[in-house]
């Protein structure tokens, strides 16, 4: 393939170790390093989000873009889509991330009809297939953008107008075709405008039932065309709708139960969405993981001072350690991965800024993994936590856990055993212990 250099002056990013002062090198992410029996590459399965990195020129609601993408050099959007693909694969290979993720409309522009949109997408998919073969970069997940076009202003699958639901169906069908064609390992539904702005004009139960029906139809089609991966729902509590139906991990798990989707669906947890729902990143990861439903992660970071989806690149080591401890305890993230659903700031205008951002994110999680592994193996962390629950390991406690005690029996035991001993939760000790390893 004829290659243009879209990121000139930047060569393959290498691991140089913690003492390196080269900002274009990894200091912690060493893809072949073994930690807890797996390479770092396999622990993370890092992915690049096509939309933030190659589609948005840093515009915001107050102004147009501040970057000019060299791949937007034609007046024909299809040509630009091809240049963009070329640039994206140059970036993936220079950075050394094994995966990428896209929305249908990131890859190819919408046409003037359903048919034209399908044709546009399939042209780009066949090019992407060649790049994937050439570079060994793989597709972590595909998705459909069911929120940007004005027709989706009242929702996609939950729209009160059936004609809009059909368009959403057309898009998801094509996006599933694309995902399967490219060997995508997962398929994501982020409920863009699936929610409501006001209850006065909303039939909530009907909309939620339609969402379930739509997802079952998508699941059936995906399985029919040979998609074997997980379908993932990405929770988010608000923005763009005032109330998004997929509010947080716990809400989505309830929805999956109710709609009988648990055999095929898991969750894609995004850090900034968890914090928007007044949870920590680790909280929503834990909720999903303990339910056996952690599918993948959108790695980014919110801003503690403002309440929207800032999509900062993740640099918070404390969060990374917490999350990696959960993953080490719950069998890891595969077949999901860590997708950088994050964008550089509006005033980050140099082409290497995109590299710094991703290098920082990858190093943060790699360092988090090393620390998490140390805490779990070398400290009293596990025993302190386990120690709080020893009363359920034998005797009446074990009987209770095995659902063998009635309420009357609990009453009789309380009466017999008297007032429980006071036992400390040891939170400060655990926090200090955790901090001692952050180094």
- 143, interface contact from Ni ion, ligand XLS, none, CB < 5-8 Å by kind: ligand XLS
Integer Cα distance of 177 and 118 in angstroms: 10
106 labelled catalytic: yes
Is the C-alpha dihedral spanning 95, 99, 101, 105 positive or negative? positive
> Does position 104 bind Ni ion by CB under 5 A?
no
- 264, interface contact from ligand XLS, Ni ion, none, CB < 5-8 Å by kind: none
For residues 84 and 55, is the Cβ–Cβ distance under 8 A?
A: yes
Footprint on residues 341-400 left by ligand XLS (CB under 6 A): 341
Q: What CA–CA distances, in Å, run from 79 to 72, 85, 106? A: 8, 10, 13
Catalytic residue among 104, 106, 246, 298: 106
DSSP secondary structure letters along 102-166: EEHHHHS---SSHHHHHHHHHHHHHHHHHHHHHH--EEEEEE---SSSGGGTT-STT-SSHHHHH
Q: 27 vs 241, which CB is nearer to ligand XLS? A: 241
In eight-state DSSP terms, residue 368 is H
- 177, interface contact from ligand XLS, Ni ion, none, CB < 5-8 Å by kind: none
Q: What are phi and psi of 369, to 5 degrees?
A: -65, -45
Count of residues binding Ni ion (CB under 5 A)? 4
> Does position 266 bind ligand XLS by CB under 6 A?
no
Angle at 254 between CA 253 and CA 259, to 5 degrees: 100
Integer Cα distance of 426 and 437 in angstroms: 17
> Does position 31 bind ligand XLS by CB under 6 A?
no
In eight-state DSSP terms, residue 422 is P
> Does position 236 bind ligand XLS by CB under 6 A?
yes
Q: How far is the CB of 144 from ligand XLS (least distance, A)?
A: 8
Q: 207 vs 309, which CB is nearer to Ni ion? A: 309
Q: Rule CB under 6 A: choose which of 177, 309, 363, 373 binds ligand XLS.
A: 309
> Which residue from 297, 165, 150 is spatially nearest to 218, judged by alpha carbons?
165
Footprint on residues 128-187 left by ligand XLS (CB under 6 A): 143
Q: 71 vs 189, which CB is nearer to Ni ion? A: 189
In three-state secondary structure terms, 222 is: helix
- 241, interface contact from ligand XLS, Ni ion, none, CB < 5-8 Å by kind: none
Catalytic residue among 43, 52, 103, 358: 103
- Using CB under 6 A as the criterion, which residues of the chain lie in contact with ligand XLS when the complex forms? 103, 143, 188, 190, 234, 236, 270, 298, 309, 341
- Using CB under 5 A as the criterion, which residues of the chain lie in contact with Ni ion when the complex forms? 270, 298, 309, 341
Just list the catalytic residues. 103, 106
């Amino acid at each position: 393939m004829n290659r243009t250099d879209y990121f000139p002056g930047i060569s393959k990013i290498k691991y140089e170790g913690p003492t390196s002062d080269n900002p274009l090198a990894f200091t912690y992410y060493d893809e072949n390093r073994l930690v807890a029996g797996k390479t770092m590459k396999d622990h993370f399965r890092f992915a690049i989000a096509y939309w933030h990195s190659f589609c948005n020129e840093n515009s915001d609601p107050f102004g147009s873009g501040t970057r000019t993408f060299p791949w937007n050099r034609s007046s024909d959007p299809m040509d630009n889509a091809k240049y963009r693909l070329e640039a994206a694969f140059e970036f993936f290979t220079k950075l050394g991330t094994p995966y990428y993720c896209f929305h249908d409309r990131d890859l190819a522009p919408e046409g003037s009809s359903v048919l034209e949109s399908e044709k546009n997408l399939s042209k780009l998919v066949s090019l992407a297939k060649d790049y994937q073969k050439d570079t060994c970069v793989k597709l972590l997940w595909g998705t459909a953008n069911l929120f940007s076009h004005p027709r989706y202003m009242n929702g996609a699958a939950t729209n009160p107008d059936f004609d809009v639901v059909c368009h959403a169906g057309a898009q998801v069908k094509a996006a599933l075709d694309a995902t399967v064609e490219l060997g995508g390992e997962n398929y994501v539904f982020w409920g863009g405008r699936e929610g409501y702005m006001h209850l006065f004009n909303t039939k909530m139960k009907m909309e939620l039932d339609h969402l379930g029906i739509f997802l079952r139809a998508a699941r059936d089609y995906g399985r029919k065309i040979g998609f074997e991966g997980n379908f993932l729902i990405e929770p988010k509590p608000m923005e763009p709708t005032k109330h998004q139906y997929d509010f947080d991990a716990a809400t989505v798990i309830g929805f999956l139960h109710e709609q009988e989707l648990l055999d095929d669906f898991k969750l894609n947890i995004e850090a900034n969405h968890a914090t928007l729902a007044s949870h920590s990143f680790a909280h929503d990861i834990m909720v999903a993981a303990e339910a056996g439903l952690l599918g993948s992660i959108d790695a980014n970071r919110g801003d503690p001072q403002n309440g929207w989806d800032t999509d900062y690149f993740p640099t918070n080591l404390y969060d990374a350690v917490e999350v990696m401890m959960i993953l080490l305890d719950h069998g890891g993230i595969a077949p999901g991965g860590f997708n950088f659903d994050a964008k550089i700031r509006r005033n980050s205008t140099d082409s290497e800024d995109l590299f710094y951002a991703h290098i920082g994110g990858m190093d943060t999680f790699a360092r988090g993994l090393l620390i998490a592994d140390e805490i779990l193996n070398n400290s009293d962390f596990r025993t302190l936590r386990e120690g709080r629950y020893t009363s359920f390991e034998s005797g009446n406690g074990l009987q209770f856990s095995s659902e063998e005690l009635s309420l009357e029996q609990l009453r009789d035991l309380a009466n017999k055993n008297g007032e429980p001993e006071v036992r400390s939760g040891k939170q400060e000790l655990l926090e200090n212990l955790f901090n001692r390893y952050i180094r």
